Every structure is written in structure tokens, then in C-alpha cells.
Amino acid sequence: MDALSEAIVRLLKRQDQTERRMARIETALGIGETVLPAEPPRQPEPPPPVATETAAGPPPPQPAAEQPVPLPPVQPHAPASDRPREFETQVGLTWISRIGAVTLIFCVAFIFKYAIDNQWIGETGRIILGILAGLACVAAGDRIWRRGHQTYAQAISGLGIAILYLSFYASFAFYHLLPQSAPFALMTLTTALSGALALRYEAPAIAVLGLIGGYLTPVLLSTGEDRPVIFFSYVLLLDLGALALARARKWRAFEFLAFAATVVLYSAWGATHFTSEKQIVAAVFALLFYALFLLANHPAIAIASQVLVTAALASIWDARPFPYLATTTAVAAAGLVAADLQKRTALAPVALAAYWTLYAVWYRSFLGTVPIGTVLPLLTVAFLFFFVWPPWRALARKAELRTPEFLVLSLNAVAYFAAAYNLLVTDNRAYLGLFTVALAGLYLAMGIEMWRQLPAATRDSRPVLLSLGVALTLLTLAAPIQFTGYRITIGWAVEAAALTWIGKRASSGRLTIAALCVFALVLVRLWAIDSWIYLDAQYVTLWNGRFLTFMIAAAALWGSAYWLGSGLRALATYIAGHIVLLWGLGLEVMGWAERTAAPQNVANLQSTSVSILLAVYALALIAAGVVTRTLINRILGLGLIGLVVAKLYLYDVWLLVRIYRIAAFAALGALLLITSYLYSRYREKIEAWWKDDQAAS
């Protein structure tokens, strides 16, 4: 019972101490209450037990008074005043240890040099001592690490790795004690040892030292003999180790180190040892390095790899189109796959730019005639890879398309069209227009399919409109490429009308604006080119290509106005249609007068004919406005009559010869009377139409 009582007392004391410590911890952390628990009432001390002997043996020994186990102190965030001490510790422990290790490396090198100069130790002895010193440093570093001095152990181990590299290198380069293969293998083992130590100590500095030594090994031990398979295989193994370390410990700097070293070594080999007989080896290892670094964690490395491998392949296959385009097309496809799977969409436009830009460089530097039958199909394959990538992202991945996809969608068409144009323009110009229309149809079909497949609730119209814009641009280019003369204007007019219809059906104001831009091109071409195609030629009035062009352009404008329905754009296109038709009729009338009248009467007949034409057209507009109840036609007719009257009284009456003046006034007077009769005959209906229009408005 006495022992039980003592145990209870000890438990109560220990509980009290624990509660008080917990309260202090909460107070230091700023949580919980700061009130310390009250001390429990002190229990009376039990009397000491009487020592008695029993048959069972001596009494059990009294347990020693238990000391309370101290809890680890709370480590709050170091205040600003403690940060200088942390910086001091960092400098004193980390940087000074590393500087000391580097200093000792120089010391070892100086000792070697001094020993050489004074012939203290033989060549073999120097190498053995160096190896033993390096291994001793590695062993000492491991022992120090196990005693808890991790940072200091890293410096000692790094010193050992450096001494081993120096010893193995000296055995071949300075003393020629070993054949090349032996130091190469020993330095490779040293690199592997540094990687193992880096993983054991969590020390990236040791791994960096080992990797640098590993990449320098083939350079330091080079004899000038070229063995590209062994050389690149060794570099590839180092890259695999570096990327494995980067993934295992998330040391991203190792990826940059491996990538930079690989680029430097590959470029140096290409500048000094590459020949046409080594094209396959160079291309295979370039693709292997690309595949490895395409999987790097940092996107900048993957992007740089995409550009550099494309440039390397262009340099390797500078005179062989098929292997060049086959390999670069495969690289472009791999870049698109990586951009999709790794969700690095920025890689896609980089792959596009690298492929087409370096193809242009390769094409310009190619000596001889480029084989179209080989180049164009492979370019088409690459174009299709880039072509399907944006709709794949939108339809299969259900991803929202952003700037990278839009760049690929638009720039791919420009690059492919330019490349194909250069190939076809010399010997296959007749097929260029058809090729352009087919390419435009491909983009048009893609835009329509994306519009159909995308859900209406979340439909993004931007890729659809961009596809249609590309198709529009190509169609606009197709006319001048395939046709000549007035056929270009006819093609543009029909295209603009079709765009207006598509824009109205798709409720797209942008397509309507595009159609108006094309109509602007039509008007410019009518004024600059088509109006002057019959200056010195004989032709049939109203039955010639020029008037057909003006008539189709006017019809296209009227069709667009009809599809637009109402608004300023519809009004503008409708009026423009009448202007174009009057313009064409005026050219026909003036041409007829020039071919009919005597030279001294050409100007009189032309002016009179134009006045009569305007008056007849005005009468036709007013009549059409009365019959169809269209206000715009009546207003246009009246305005045109006002123009004719102004011309008659300001120009014709003063400059025309008498006979032509009489004819002009007679014709205009008759037409004015007819116009007046129409308004007198249908006055009540016209006024009723005005009232209806005002009531409706």
C-alpha cells in the first residue's frame, strides 16, 4: 500500500508539471489561455516503510525519484535581431568550409607540382598518394557526416572527389601510366560515386562537382581520335544520371547543367569532327538528346531543345531533303504531343516557328533543284500535324483555346502557303489557284465542324472566326493567283457576297466587316484597272467583259444588302450597287459615243448621253420605288434627277453644241414630265405610305 501511495503521488506531481509546461508552450505560441493551472493540494507524506524480512526475500528496492523529462524548447520564428547571427552561421559553416575545400584542392595541385619539380616522389607514387588522399577524404567525410556535421562533411567529401579526378587525369595526361580506357573508367566511377554521396548527404554541391568532372572527362582525356558512338553514349548516360538526380531530389539546376554541357559538347564535336559520313550518328544522337530533354521538368529546356534539334538536323541533312524533312517533321510532331500531354501549350508555336523558319533557311541554302515530289508531300504532312492540333485541343481535350493555339492555327497556313507557293510557282503555276482554294476550303471546313461540335452553351467563336478569316484570306489570294484581268474582280465580288451570307447565317459581325473590306478591294480594282481595259480596243456595247464585271459587282452588292436586311451597312452596300451599275453604264455610253461620233463631236455626244442615261436611270428608280413601295428607290431617283438638272443647267447649256443641247433638254424635259406624272398618278398612295411608315416608326 505504501508503494502504491507513493506512485500515486508521483503521478499527480508529474501531471501537474506537464500541465504547467503545456500552458507555457501555448502562451509562447499565442494560443490557448495563459492562466497556469493551480497547484493541487499537497498530499501528506506517507511514513517511511518499515523494513521487514519475509520468506519471499528482501523487500523490493525503492524506485529512485524520477526527474521530469524536459520538453524541447519552442522554436519561434527568429526575430530580425537574430538574422545576422543566422547569416554569420551560414557564412562560417557553409561558405568557409567550401572555400577551404577549394583552397586545399589548389594546395594538392601545388604539392604535386612541387614534388614533380624536385623529384621527391616517383610518378606512380604521386598517383597512388593522390588516390589514397581522395579516398581518405571521402571516408573522413562519411565519418564526419555520421557524427552529425552534415555541412562540414559535404566540403570534405567534395575535396576527396576533386582529388580523385585530378589523380586519374594526371595518370593519363601527365605521366602516361595508364591507357586511355582505364582513367576514363575510373573517372566515370568517380562521377557515379559523387552522385551516390550527393544522395546520401542530400548535398547537391557534391553532385554538381561530380557532373562537371564527368562532362570534362572526355575533353581532358581526348587524344584527338573521334569515336562518336562512345562519346555520345557516355554523355547520354551522364544526362540520364543528372535528370534522375533532378527528379529524385527536385534539384532543377541539374537539368540546366546537363542541358548546357550537352549543347556545348555536341556543338564542339560538330565543329571539329563532323563529316558527311557521320550524318546518321549525329542525327540519331541529336534525336536521343532531344527526346531526353523534352521530358525535363523545366519548360524552358524543352523549348530550347525543340529549337536546337531542328537547327541541328537542318545542318546535318543540308543536302538530303528526305531525311531532313522526315526527321524534322517527326520532331515537330513530338513537340505537339509533348505540348498536349505535358500541358505546355507554349511549346506548340515554338515547334511551328522552328520547323518553318529553319525550313526556309534550309531551302535558301540548298544547292541544286529542290525535288517537289519529295519536299511538298512531307511539308504537307507537317502542315497537317499543326493543322489538327488546335481542333484536337478544343474538341478532344475540351480545352479553352488561347494564344498558343491561335498562333498555330493562323501562322501554320501562312507558312505552308508560302512554302508551297515557292515550290509550285515556277513549273506548276496553273495549279496554284486550285491549291489555294483547296487550302481555303480545308480551313472553312474546320471552322464549320468546330462550330457544329462545340457545345452551344460554352461555344467559343474565336477559333471558328479565325479559321474563317484564314479561309477568307486564301480565297482573296486565289483570284489574282489563278485569274487575270477582270476575272479577279469578279472572284472577289462573289467571295464578298458569300462572306456576307455566311456572316448573316452565323450572326458574325466580323465576317460582315471582312466582306465589306473585300468589297472595298473590288471598288479599288474597278476604278484602277477594270475601267481602263478597253482604251484602244473595239468591243460590243453591253456585251463585253468590263460591263459583265461591273454588273456582277453591282449584283453582289445588292445581294449583300438583301442579306444584311437593314442598318447602315445594308444601306451602304445597296447604294454602292447602284453607283457601280451606273458607273459601268456610263463607261459603255461614253465608249459608244467615242466609237460613233466624229472626233470633234465626241465630247458633246458623251455629255448628252450621260445626262440622258442618268435621267432614265432616275426614272427607273422612281418607278421601282412606286411599284415596290420602297422609299429608298424613290429618294435615290429624285436625288439623281436633281443631279441631272444641275448638270444640264450648269454645264450642258453652256458647253454643248446646239443640236446636242436641244437633245439633252428635250430628253430631260420628257423624263421630268413622266416623273411628275408618276407622282401625280400615285400621290395618294405615296402619302399613305409615308403615313404608314411614320406610324410604324
Q: Does any domain span residue 573?
A: no
**pLDDT range class, residue 32, cuts 50, 70, 90:** low
Give the model's confidence band at 84: pLDDT under 50 very low, under 70 low, under 90 confident, else very high: very low
Q: Could you read off the pLDDT of 418-466 as tens digits, one per residue?
A: 899 889 888 887 788 889 889 999 998 888 888 888 776 667 778 887 8
Distance of alpha carbon 331 from alpha carbon 305, whole angstroms: 10
Average pLDDT, the chain: 78
Q: Cα–Cα distance between 512 and 496 in angstroms, integer?
A: 9
Task: Indicate if 182 and 103 belong to the same structural domain.
Answer: yes
Asked if 98 and 218 sit in the same domain, the reply is yes
Domain extent at residue 604: 597-697
φ and ψ at 57, to 5 degrees? Answer: 120, -170
Which amino acid does the sequence have at 455? P
Instruction: Give, in degrees to the nearest 5, the angle at Cα 252 between 251 and 256.
Output: 130
Strand, coil or helix: 54: strand
CB 623 within 8 A of CB 567: no
pTM higher than 0.75 for the full model? no
Alpha carbons 530 and 542: distance in angstroms, whole number: 15
Q: Do residue 7 and residue 125 come from a single domain?
A: no
Final residue of a structural domain among 223, 239, 264: 223
Q: What's at 329, amino acid-wise?
A: T
Task: Please list, in sequence order, all residues whose beta carbon lies within 8 angstroms of the beta carbon of residue 14, skipping any fewer than 6 positions away.
Answer: 66, 68
Residue 136: inside a domain: yes
Distance CA 67, CA 72 (A): 15
Q: Looking at the domain assignment, is residue 26 inside a domain?
A: yes
pLDDT band at 50 (very low <50, low <70, confident <90, very high): very low
Q: Is residue 409 part of a domain?
A: no
pLDDT, tens digit (0-9, with 9 covering 90-100), for 620-634: 888 888 888 888 888
Domain match, 101 and 25 both:
no
Residues 125 and 202 in one domain: yes
Q: CA 159, CA 138: separation in Å to the nearest integer?
A: 8
How far apart, in Å, are the Cα atoms of 344 and each of 198, 250, 286, 350, 448?
31, 19, 22, 11, 27
As for how many domains the chain has, the answer is 3
Cα gap 593→588, rounded to integer Å: 9
CB neighbour burial string for 374-388, b if at least 16 within 10 angstroms, e if fewer: ebbebbeebbebbbe
Vertex 94: Cα angle to 90 and 99 (nearest 5): 130
- Same domain for 102 and 205, yes or no, is yes
Instruction: Look at residues 223, 248, 279 and tell me which one is the last residue of a structural domain.
Output: 223
Domain end residue (candidates: 204, 223, 242): 223
Is the same domain home to 98 and 30? no
* 456 falls within a domain: no
Output phi, psi for 565, to 5 deg: 85, -75
Within-domain flag for 463: no
Same structural domain for residues 116 and 2? no
pLDDT in tens, 232-291: 888 888 888 888 888 877 777 889 999 999 999 999 999 999 998 999 999 999 999 999
Kindly write down the DSSP assignment for every residue of 188-256, as one continuous string: HHHHHHHHHHHHHHT-HHHHHHHHHHHHHHHHHT--S---HHHHHHHHHHHHHHHHHHHHHH--THHHH
Say if residue 183's pLDDT is above 90: no
Highest-confidence segment of 60-74, 105-119, 459-473: 459-473
Q: Is residue 189, in this structure, part of any structural domain at all?
A: yes
Q: Decide if 448 is inside a domain.
A: no
**CA–CA gap between residue 9 and residue 665 (Å, rounded):** 136
